[in-house]
Amino acid sequence: MKEVLTRPKTGYYMNKDVFGARGDFITSPEISQLFGEMLAIWVISEWRKIGSPRPFQLVELGPGRGTMMADILRVFGKLGVTGDTLEVHLVEVSESLSEIQASNLCREHGSAAESDKHPFYYRGLTDREISVFWHKSVEQLPEKFSVIVAHEFFDALPIHKFQRTSNGWREVLVDVDPQDSQKLRMVTSSIPTPASLLLIRESETRDHIEVSPSSGALMQFLAQRLEEFGGFALIADYGHSGDKGDTFRAFKKHQLHDPLCEPGTADLTADVDFSYLKKAVGDKLISFGPVTQHEFLKRLHIDVRLKKLLASSTKEQQDELLSGYKMIMDEKGMGTAFKFMCFFPSVLAEFFISHPVAGFYPET
C-alpha cells in the first residue's frame, strides 16, 4: 500500500487531485461544509474546557484538498481564534496536493528550504494571518501543545493480512501471477512469516485479520507527544472495534476496483481497527469512542447549524445543503460506516468524569 500510494514519482497520491466527483472517491468535508464546521466546534469546545492553552498548533494528518481545514479555520475566525493564538501544521507527503491545499487555505504561500531549524518544506499565510506549515512526517512537528485531527488518514496506512489455516496463521502476500507476468495475485504463505509470528495475539478468534504496524507506531509517537507537551486528537475513519477481517479494497471512479489491477491508478484502503489504536497508546492516553459519524454530529447539534444555514440560503443552496447533510448522516451509508474516536492525556481522566467529552455521550 505504501509503495502504490506514496511512491515519490508514481504513487497514487503524489501527482494528481484524486478527490471529488472527478476523482476516485469523495469525502465528507467535500460533500458538506457542515462536517468541517462541526469539527471546529468540537475542537474549540474541548480546548476551552481544559483551559484554552495558548499558543496551540492545529495539526491535520493527510489534509486532502484542504477543504476541511478551510471550514475549520473559517469557524475559528468567527470565534476569535486567530494567528496570535494558533499555528496550523499539515502532514502531507504529496507536494502536488500541498500546492492544492495552499491555494485553498492561504493568501500567500511558497516552498521553504528544509533544515533542522525549519523542518517544513512549504509554508503559507491565511487571510486571518494564521501561519501554515507543511511537513513530510509527524516527527517534524514542533514540540508544543497540539490538537490533532485525522480524517480518512489511517485507512490508507499499510497493513499486513493474515489467514487462519489448518497449519496455523499464515500471511497473505502479493505475488506475480505465474500465468501472466503482467498481473499480480494474492497468495497465502506456506510457512510462518516474521509478521505472522509477531503481530497476531494468541486470543485471536477471527479467521482473517488485518494489522497495521504503521498505525500502531504512529499512535505511539502521538501518545508520547501529547503526554509530554499536551493536547488531544480526533480520528474519523472507516473502522471497527476488532471484529472485522477482510476489508482491504480499492476504489476507482467511485466504484470498487480490483486492488491488484493497474497499481497506482486506484485508491487503496482498509478499515481501521480502533481497538488496535487504543491498545497502541497504552496508559499514556485515555480514549473515547468509537461512535458513529451520525451519533457524533447529531450530539454536536448539526441540525441546529443546518437550520440556521437554510434560513439564509437560496433555494439552490438549500437543496445542496440538504443533500450533503443527508449523505454524511445516512445511517445506511456514511453515517454509520465512519466512526469517531478521540484521545487525551491520561492525567485528564478524572477531569472528564465530571466534564464529558462532547459528541461521545448522549445528552442527559
Q: What angle do CA 23, 25, 31 make, to 5 degrees?
A: 100
Specify the CATH architecture of the domain 2-158+212-354.
Answer: 3-Layer(aba) Sandwich (3.40)
CB-neighbour burial class of residue 312 (10 A; exposed 0-12, middle 13-18, buried 19+): exposed
Over the chain, what is the mean pLDDT? 93
Domain boundaries, the chain: 2-158+212-354, 162-198
- Give me the helix-helix angle, 67-78 and 33-49, nearest 10°: 50
- Residue 337 predicted with pLDDT over 90: yes
- Residue 21 predicted with pLDDT over 60: no
Q: How many helices and strands in the chain, by DSSP H and E?
A: 13, 17
Mean pLDDT for 279-300 is: 98
- Going by C-alpha positions, the residue among 94, 89, 114 that lies closest to residue 229 is 89
Higher-confidence position of 179 and 41: 41
- Residue 24 predicted with pLDDT over 90: no
Q: What angle do CA 237, 133, 239 make, to 5 degrees?
A: 5
Q: Which residue has the cell 494528518?
A: 61
Mean pLDDT for 332-343 is: 97
* Confidence category of residue 70, pLDDT binned at 50, 70, 90: very high
* Confidence category of residue 253, pLDDT binned at 50, 70, 90: confident
- Residue 303 predicted with pLDDT over 90: yes
- CA gap 325, 31 in Å, rounded: 8
